[in-house]
Structure 1
Amino acid sequence: MPAGDSAANEAQRQLLLATAHEKAAADARRTAASYGLASATEQRTARALAPLAAAGYHLLADRQWPGSRRAQVDMVVIGPGGVFVVDTKAWAEVSIVGDRIHRGDADVTDELMALADLAYRTEGELAEVGLAPGEVHAVAVLAGRSGVDEHVGPVRVVGERDVLQLVARHGQRLSPTQVDVVLTRALSWFRQVGAPAPVSTTLPEPVLPAPSTAVVAIPAQRHAADDAPVAPPVPDDPGTFTIEPLLDDATVQAALLDGLMAAPVEDWMAFLHPAQARVVRRSFNGPSRIRGAAGTGKTVVGLHRAAYLARTRQGRVLVTTYIRTLPDVLRQLLTRLAPDVVDRVEFAGVHETAKRILDERGVQHRIDGRQITAAWTSAWGRVAGGSIIDTDRHEQDYWHDEVRYVIKGRGLTQWEQYADLPRLGRRHRLGPQQRRVVWDLYQAYDAELRVRGVHDFADQIALAEAELRRQPPAEPYTAVIVDEAQDLSCVMLRMLHALVGDAPDGLTLVGDGQQTIYPGGFTLAEAGVSVAGRGTVLDINYRNTAEILQFASMLVADDEFADIEGATARGDRPTQVPRRGPKPVYVRCANQADRARRMVTRVQEAVRQVGTGYGDVGVLSLSRRGVDDATAALTAAGVPVVNLEKYDGVPVDAVKVGTIKRAKGLEFKQVLVVDVRASWFTEKPEQLDEVDRERREYRLREMYVAMTRARDGLWVASV
């Protein structure tokens, strides 16, 4: 080796080593600056949220990101308004376009989507203790900003000075007990951070001095306009930003007061049984069904599922039902439950949906109630009057139901289809001659409608279903949720199925066969829908007291019905009924005047109870005449009344009076059933012929529906 070469090589090695040390030092300084800035901005976010502690919130700072060894969550806020997963971003030159967020020229949307994914997984974790999906919020806070309130996908992006108001505006969605339950689970999910940041160099890690309890101040510039500190630029950041002063005391107090004064949301809106919460989030690879006895929370779960699918899927969600007035009520409930997505959920009755389809496609159709009645009367007179089906045992309404629900409701077009039809749900057996007359009646009625240039409501559904078969929708719904699905006809279900097909989570049927109060049952197989392996049964009654449920269940104890899945069923029975209360009251009145007097007295007694107002009372009748009589008696006594035909779900301090059919899907603290006959409780089914037995079954199911609307008290009167 020539003289001096070894020294030269060592010199070169030392220079390379020095360069490596210098690079490592520079990297460490940049990392230190980033962590220092993060510490400063996260501390300011913490100070901005600190006043929430006085309103029952818990602030968990510097928690470990579940599933990661190194990543951490800046803050998790848990309190009356729900759960907020908060991440502070010290970003400058931020712009949001559509669903994308940019930091200068760099697209940083993926960073926020990681936060969204964490909130989604947290939602699933907390569902195990009953927190409803939608009560976990992903929030990105832009340090030093104010007046920012944007969305990037499911992530709410706000300024540092706006985050307090954001949380406070959620009001009271969880009770103190529920907050404690959620907090306990969250502490095990978000563990305390304790690991140091990784050192990104192959050099030996330096020996650090012992930790100091002193707070390291981050050097700050001064804003020209005030004494607020200005954050130093983030290393390699395209720009700088200024930090404004935090909120003054008056603004903080106003924000907290707004949250505290907000009306509490009902417990069921934000806190479910864990089994219910899991059903809301469960994914199915095709149409699914949620069933259970009255009071098990099917409608609640259906609403939560609509909100969940609206948050996690692209496109529109439809919530529909046979009952015309129920969609407006459900819309109001979802407005309170999930105001962030209510605009992405469409509420419409089945007939309203059919009408919209026909209008959009320019299909002419005309509904005229008087002409429909005239068409039926004319057809009956020409074909059925004095025939084998015109007997004292059946009124015309029975045969009108046969045509509307059994024939038209199934979409039958050929005599051979009807001749051999099982007629599920109809006990009265029809021989070949009777069926022939009914079919001729149907054809005559259909011809009379055409002569008058009108359609009936069954035609409206059939026309819409045919249109969807002819041309599937250009923009199908993401999901269709059907409440009270047992009330649909076969053609209705085919129409709704055509809106989504067999797409995963596309069609959800919610209902209870025990509450079927319309004739003309059918099976899902007839409609071309399968829910095999995709059914869920809810079995805990949350609405009724054990006393109310026991009383109501006596009416349907021996009831058998043809379930839409094809089996003969006897009704689901809840495994638990946790609530107890007073026994239902049954009174036998001397006459109608006596019944009216007792009804008014009962309403007045009910509203004297603590926590019960006029709006918490429902007076239900099997007939429109009973509704009119009850309305007149209550109005004469000075009691405010609203007819369920006009009730849209907006809270009103008035007794709700309506038919039992209009009350389906609703609940009341106190229910009065006012037009029952005493003989209905005493007649023996084995002593009745098949005609009266069928009538009795539908009547008792209807009364069962009415009684199970009651949460706390039930009063039944007969004459």
Structure 2
Amino acid sequence: MPAGDSAALEAQRQLALAAAHEKAAVEARATASRYGVASATEQRTARALAPLAAAGHHLLADRRWPGSRRAQVDMVVVGPGGVFVVDTKAWADVTIDRDRILRGQEDVTEDLMALADLAYRTEGELAEIGLAPGEVHAVAVLAGRQGVDERVGPVRVVGERDVLGLVARRGARLAPAQVDRVLARCLDWFGQVGAPAPVSTTLPEPVLPAPRVPDAAPVVVPALVPDDAAGEPFEVPAPRGPAGVAPLHDDEEARRTLLQGLLAAPVEEWMTFLHPAQAKVVRRSYNGPARIRGAAGTGKTVVGLHRAAYLARTREGKVLVTTYIRTLPDVLRQMLTRLAPDVVDRVEFAGVHETAKRILDEAGVRVRIDGRQIAAAWTAAWGKVAGGSIIDTDRHEQDYWHEEVASVIKGRGLTRWDQYADLPRLGRRHRLGLQQRRVVWQLYEAYDAELRDRGVHDFADQIALAEAELRRRPPAERYTAVVVDEAQDLTCVMLRMLHGLVGDATDGLTLVGDGQQTIYPGGFTLAEAGISVAGRGTVLDVNYRNTREILQFASMLVRDDEFADIEGATARGDRPAQVPRTGPKPLYVRCAGEADRQRRMVQRVQEVVAEVGTSFGDVGVLSLSRRGVDDATEALRRAGVPVVNLEQYDGVPVNRVKVGTVKRAKGLEFKQVLVVDPYASWFTDKPDGLDDVDRERREFRLRELYVAMTRARDGLWVASI
């Protein structure tokens, strides 16, 4: 090697080494700066949330990110308002637009989607203990900002000074014992970590000291409890931050924020903490239409609502919740508003007929429904075809044959005589010979012609036209999912119409119901509707609503009842495996007459509202007829008892006794139920000797009574004459 070459090479090596050191030093300083900024901003978020400790929340700082060896979660808040997975972002120049978040020109949405994914996995973990989906929230806090409250997909983006209010406004959704269960699981799921990995270079240089990590143990302060016995108002303690650190909010501001949360209307426990099996059903994914069934009181409607909220959070597009009962959608909307206010605007509630009308209106198809003209058309058709015929007997009233036309022929979408000639009339006990069927078919044709001559349609026509319109022109993804409550009450054509909105898409159609509670004629099978739920069914088998005494009393009415289930089998009804609650035995009274029954009913209402914890709004007075509703309403009002008819009840809490028909009470529950117009013979007469028509009527009547009685949570009173 020529002289001087070795020195030149050494000089080059030392210069390269120096350059490497300088590069490593720059990277180390930048990394240390990021840690320093993160440490400072995370501590500021902790200070902002610290006042929550005074209201029963637990703050878990710097926990392990499940599934990651190095990543950490800035803060997990566990308390009465649910679970909040909080990540602080020291981002400047932030823009949020159309579910995207930009940092300057850089799209950083995926950073937040990682947080959303963690919240989703946490939701699944906590479903194992029964926390309802939707009670876990992903929150991104923008350091140094205030007046920010946006959404990027499932992630709530708020300012540093806004995060306290976000959590406090959730109010008391979990009871203290439930908070303890959730906290225990979160402490395990979000494990403790030590200091973060040291910052190092590729060269053998001394490592930089790791940033200080706050204590990972939760901040635990007893929850506030109002002194009801003394009648004192709430007192919100002064907020306390970490030792030696002034709170981010001033005392008065924090007090106001916490008080707002403490006074928020509580959500019933059954809305937010489910049985683990129920919570899993809510989140379960089915590769096509699915069915959720179970006996009365097993929480089917609540599970259906949670599922609608879950699908609205995790899918693009609107979710439709529908049912046959016209007034029930308004009640369900109010329930979801309390249960999942964050997604209620992405869920539509409409009865089946209202849904059909929307479909036809959007397609420009004109439908005219006129009750008087419909009745006149039926009367004219009966006079032309059926009066004095083989089907016009004392034992078979016109109503029976009207049901046959509306529910069996039109409800099952029959358009040809040969379809009806040998049709298995599921759910109808009266056997029809060929001659009788021929007269019924002629009655249907005459009725249809009378409707056309008058330029009107009936409600079955409205459904059939909407179903045909969907087949002609499928919707352009109007709904991402349809949840059907009380599915057993629908006709075949109704289900075909709803299926047409989503088809066999994954999680597209969820049918919720119980065949034992079928109170309308015209049975059919899902196969007939072109729907299969094979391998996609779930049975709920724990009765949470009724006491054992109430359920035992009601079940005696239907213990021998057989019905044609929509899946094609003859069933006897699901029996709950567990009925955890007990209570007083139901009261059955025989009255001397109608006046005596009304007097005793008023007395019973006055007795139950005198009990601790029961108000007028907790009482339901149910009748099998509109006349019974009118009589009960008049008697209660004469006695000065506040009343609201179930036809006007929209689910908003009101301290009035709710009076209505059993059909209007489907999907509802009350602490105390009074059933006011059965006859004693309905309980005592045996079906022996009854003809097929009377036997069928008896079965529907007893099912209706069963539905009425199982609306009762704590007490049941039945009066007959």
TM-score, with length taken from structure 1:
0.94
SS across alignment from 2:576: coil
SS at match of 2:652: coil
* Deviation of the 1:212 alpha carbon: 8.9
**Separation (CA, whole Å) in 2 of partners of 1:214 and 1:21:** 31
Measured against aligned partners, the alpha-carbon deviations of 1:239-258 in whole angstroms (never above 9, x if no partner) come to xxxxx993211110000000
Pairing partner for 1:429 from 428, 431, 452: 431
CA distance 1:89–1:369, change in 2 (3 Å)? same
1:588-599 to 2 correspondences below 5 Å: 588-599=590-601
Q: Which residue of 2 aligns with 1:246?
A: 248
CA distance in 2, matches of 1:156, 1:534: 33
Could you tell me which residue of structure 2 aligns to residue 231 of structure 1?
none
Offset, 1:7: 3.0
Q: Deviations over 1:412-470 (max 9, x none)?
A: 01110000000000001001111111111111111111111111000000011111111
Superposed counterparts of 1:578-589, under 5 Å: 578-589=580-591
**1:642-657 matched pairs, under 5 angstroms:** 642-657=644-659
User: Following TM superposition, by how much is the alpha carbon of 1:194 offset from its aligned partner in structure 2, in angstroms?
Assistant: 1.6
Q: What are the equivalent positions in structure 2 for 1:134-173 lying under 5 Å apart?
A: 134-173=134-173
Residue 265 (1) aligns with residue 267 (2): yes
Q: Which residue of 1 aligns with 2:638?
A: 636
Q: Which position in structure 1 is the counterpart of 2:229?
A: none
Question: Bigger CA drift: 62-71 or 10-19?
Answer: 10-19
What residue is the counterpart of 2:218 in the other structure?
A: none
Deviation at 1:5, TM superposition (A): 2.6
> What amino acid does structure 1 have at the position aligned with 2:123?
E
2:714 maps to 1:712: yes
Q: Within 5 Å, which residues of 2 pair with 1:54-93? A: 54-93=54-93
Cα deviations by residue, 1:121-180 (Å, 9 ceiling, x for unpaired)? 111111111111111111110111111111111111111011001110111111111100
Identify the residue that residue 511 of structure 1 maps to in structure 2.
513
Q: Alpha carbons of 1:487 and 1:333: their partners in 2 closer, same or farther (altered >3 Å)?
A: same
Cα separation, 1, equivalents of 2:211 and 2:568:
71
Which residue of 2 is the match for residue 13 of structure 1?
Answer: 13
Residue 607 of structure 1 corresponds to which residue in structure 2?
A: 609
| 1:204-223 mapped onto 2 (5 Å cutoff) | 204=204, 206=206
Unaligned runs of 5+ in 1: 216-243
Counterpart Cα distance in 1 of 2:530 and 2:64: 49
Residue 210 of structure 1: how far off its partner (Å):
11
Residues 1:2 and 1:136: Cα distance change in structure 2 (over 3 Å): same
The 8 Å contact of residues 199 and 205 in structure 1, kept in 2 or not, is answered as: no
SS at match of 2:577: coil
User: Hey, what's the Cα distance between the residues in 2 that align with 1:637 and 1:475?
Assistant: 53
- Aligned-partner Cα distance in 1 for 2:377–2:209: 96
Conserved in 1, the CA contact under 8 Å of 2:198 and 2:207?
Answer: no
CA distance in 2, matches of 1:456, 1:369: 8
Q: Deviations over 1:353-381 (max 9, x none)?
A: 11111111111111111111111111111
- What residue identity is the alignment partner of 1:25? A
- Cα distance between partner residues in 1 of 2:715 and 2:442: 49
- Partners of 2:152 and 2:432 in 1: CA distance: 62
Tell me the equivalent position of 2:484: 482
The aligned counterpart of 2:530 is 528
For 1:5-404, list aligned pairs within 5 A: 5-197=5-197, 199=199, 201-204=201-204, 206=206, 246-404=248-406
Whole-Å separation in 2 of the counterparts to 1:197 and 1:487: 61
Residues 52 and 256 in structure 1, CA contact (< 8 A), matched pair in contact too: yes
Distance 1:44 1:34 in 2: 15
Q: For the residues of structure 1 that align with 2:196 and 2:94, how far apart are their CA atoms?
A: 29
Q: Is the 8 A contact 2:311 2:319 kept in 1?
A: yes
Where 2:395 maps in the other structure, the secondary structure is coil
CA distance in 1, matches of 2:402, 2:342: 45
Match of 2:134, SS state, is coil
Equivalent of residue 682 in structure 1, options 677, 681, 684: 684
What is the rounded CA distance, in whole Å, between the counterparts of 1:634 and 1:301 in structure 2? 35
1:692 alignment partner, one of 683, 691, 694: 694
Q: Tell me the secondary structure at the aligned position of residue 527 of structure 1.
A: coil
Q: Deviations over 1:171-222 (max 9, x none)?
A: 111111110010011111101122532546322363678999999xxxxxxx
Structure 2 CA distance for aligned equivalents of residues 670 and 146 of structure 1: 48
How far does residue 15 in structure 1 lie from its aligned partner after superposition?
2.3
Distance in 2 (CA, whole Å) between partners of 1:37 and 1:212 is 12
Contact kept in structure 1, 2:675 and 2:717, CA below 8 Å:
yes
Within a 5 Å distance, the mapping from 1:611-626 to structure 2 comes to 611-626=613-628
Aligned partners of 1:70 and 1:195 also within 8 Å: no
State the alpha-carbon separation in 2 of the partners of residues 121 and 213 from structure 1: 25
Q: Read off the aligned partner of 2:142 and give its amino acid letter.
A: L
Query: Residues 251-290 of structure 1, C-alpha deviation per residue, up to 9 Å, x if partnerless?
Result: 1000000000111101111111111111111111100000
Where 1:14 maps in the other structure, the secondary structure is: helix
CA distance in 2, matches of 1:80, 1:355: 42
| Corresponding position of 1:411 | 413
- C-alpha change, 1:374 and 1:213, in structure 2 (3 Å) is closer
After the TM superposition, which residues 557-576 of structure 1 pair with which residues of structure 2 at under 5 Å, given as runs?
Answer: 557-576=559-578
What's the CA shift string for 1:76-97, capped at 9, x where partnerless?
Answer: 0010111100001111111112
Q: 1: distance between equivalents of 2:553 and 2:213?
A: 67
Q: Distance in 1 between matches of 2:629 and 2:381?
A: 31
Structure-1 separation of matches of 2:536 and 2:212: 59
The answer to whether the 8 A contact 1:171-1:260 is kept is yes
- Mapped to 1, the partners of 2:123 and 2:210 lie a distance apart of 40
Looking at structure 2, the residues matched to 32 and 566 of structure 1 have their Cα atoms a distance apart, in angstroms, of: 68
Question: Aligned partners of 2:200, 2:685: CA distance in 1, in Å?
Answer: 85
CA distance in structure 2 between the aligned counterparts of 1:214 and 1:483, rounded to whole angstroms: 49
* C-alpha distance in structure 2 between counterparts of 1:94 and 1:670, whole Å: 54
Checking the alignment, whether the CA contact within 8 Å between 2:195 and 2:210 is kept in structure 1 is no
Q: Deviations over 1:515-566 (max 9, x none)?
A: 0000010000000000011101111111111111111111110111000000
Secondary structure of 1:40's aligned partner:
helix
- The one-letter code sitting in structure 1 at the alignment partner of 2:202 is T
Which amino acid is the alignment partner of residue 170 of structure 2?
H
Counterpart AA for 1:604: Q
Partner of 2:669: 667
- CA spacing shift, 1:644–1:73, aligned 2, 3 Å: same
CA contact (8 A) 2:198 2:210 kept: no
CA contact 1:95–1:104 (8 Å) conserved in 2: yes
Distance 1:47 1:199 in 2: 27
Secondary structure in 2 aligned to 1:675?
coil
Distance in 2 (CA, whole Å) between partners of 1:659 and 1:99 is 46
How far apart, in 2, do the equivalents of 1:78 and 1:58 lie?
Answer: 5
Tell me, in whole angstroms, the C-alpha distance in 2 between the residues paired with 1:475 and 1:536. Answer: 27
Is residue 494 from structure 1 mapped to residue 496 from structure 2 by the alignment?
Answer: yes
1:214 & 1:435 partners in 2: Cα distance? Answer: 81
Shift of 1:342: 0.6
CA-CA distance at 1:684 after TM superposition: 1.6
C-alpha distance 690-211 of structure 1, shift in aligned 2 (>3 A): closer
C-alpha distance in 1 between matches for 2:71 and 2:557: 59
Change (3 A) 1:9 1:172: same
Q: CA RMSD in A?
A: 1.6
Unaligned ranges ≥5, structure 2: 216-245
Aligned equivalents of 1:213 and 1:203: distance in 2? 26
The answer on whether the counterparts of 2:50 and 2:247 sit within 8 Å (CA) in structure 1 is no
SS in 2 for 1:347: strand
- Distance in 2, matches of 1:528 and 1:534, equals 15
Distance in 1 (CA, whole Å) between partners of 2:169 and 2:499 is 38
Percent identity reads 84
Shift of the 22–100 alpha-carbon distance from structure 1 to 2, 3 Å rule, reads same
Inter-partner Cα distance in structure 2 for 1:655 and 1:262: 24
* Match of residue 468 from structure 1: 470
Q: Secondary structure at the match of 1:610?
A: coil
